[in-house]
Chain A
Amino acid sequence: MTDAPIKRREPPKSPHLVTGGLGSPLLWRWHITMWTSILHRATGVALYVGALIVAAWAVSLASGPETYAGFKALLGSIPGKVVMFGLTLSIFYHLGNGIRHLVWDTGHGLDVKSANASAVVVFAFAAAATLAIWAIASQTGAL
C-alpha cells in the first residue's frame, strides 16, 4: 500500500474537437449535404409564408378590382420584388431538392459521392431556373 495519489488519466476528447496539431484542419467541417438539408427546411418555411401570400392574392382577387390593384402594386414594389425573388429561389430549390429526396426514397443515390454531386446539381438548377424565370418575366412585362 502506498500513499501515492491516484493519477487520473485525461478523459478522451471528442474527435470533433481534436486537431492533428498546429495548422492542421479540424476534423469537423461543413459538408455540402448539411447545407442542402438545412436549406430544404429553411426554404420550406419560406414557402409557407409564400403560400399565405398566394392565399392573400386569391382573397384580393375575390374582393374586387381596387383591392387587387393595391395588392399587385404591393408585390410589384421593390420590397415586394425582393420577396418574390427569394420565393422563386426557394420554390426551385425546394422542388429540386424534393425530387432528390424522392430519388433517395427509392434507395438510389445515397452514397457520399452521389449525394455530393446531386447537391451541386440542385444548387445549379435552383440558380439557373430562378434567373431564367426572371429573365422571362422581364421580357413578358411581368415585372
Chain B
Amino acid sequence: MVSYRTPLGRARGLGSAKHGASHWVSERVSAIALVPLTIWAIYGVLRLAAGDYGFAVHWVQSPLNATLAVITLAISFWHMHAGLRVVVEDYIHKTLTKTALLLLNLFICGLAGALAIFSILKVALDAGIPVGA
C-alpha cells in the first residue's frame, strides 16, 4: 500500500522524537548518584551540627568536602526540579496555573541551587583571608 503521508506528518502527534525518555533517564541517573552523596551529606551534617563557625569554615575549605558539597547540591536541585515537575504535571491541569508553577519550580531550584553553590565556593576559596577583613 502506498502512503502519501510524509514522515513528519506520520510522526506528528505520536509523541517522542527520540528524546522522550530523557526526563525519565535523568531522574534515575541523578537518583543513583545521590545514593552515596546523600550518605556522605548526612555524615557531614552530623559533624557540622557538633561544630561551630570555625569548624564549618575549616570543613568547607577541604577540597574533598567543597567538591562533594557542590556536586551534591547541583544534583539534588536537579533531581528536586525533576521530581516536583512531575508532581505539578500530575495534579495541576489548568494551563496557566500549571505553567506558572512549573516556572516557579524551575526558578526556585535555579536560584537556591546557585546561591548555595556560590556560598560554598566563596567560603572554600576564602582561605587565608581573615574573617571580616
Contacts and interface: CB of A to CB of B under 8 A. Distances in A.
B122 interface: yes
Given A51-B76, A142-B49, A59 B132 contact: no
Chain B interface size, as a band, is: 35 or more
B14 interface: no
Given A62-B123, A105-B28, A44 B83 contact: yes
Contact of A61 (B60, B73, B84, B112): B60
Interface string A127-143: 00000010011001111
B83 A62 contact: no
A95 B47 CA distance: 20
A64 B132 contact: yes
Given A45-B84, A45-B87, A105-B28, A54 B116 contact: yes
B83 A140 contact: no
Interface of A: 41, 44-45, 47-48, 51-52, 54-55, 58-59, 61-62, 64-65, 68-69, 72, 75, 88, 91, 95, 98-99, 101-102, 105, 133, 136-137, 140-143
17 contacts: A48-B83, A51-B77, A51-B80, A54-B73, A55-B113, A58-B69, A58-B119, A61-B53, A61-B119, A65-B131, A68-B56, A69-B53, A88-B42, A95-B39, A133-B42, A142-B50, A143-B49
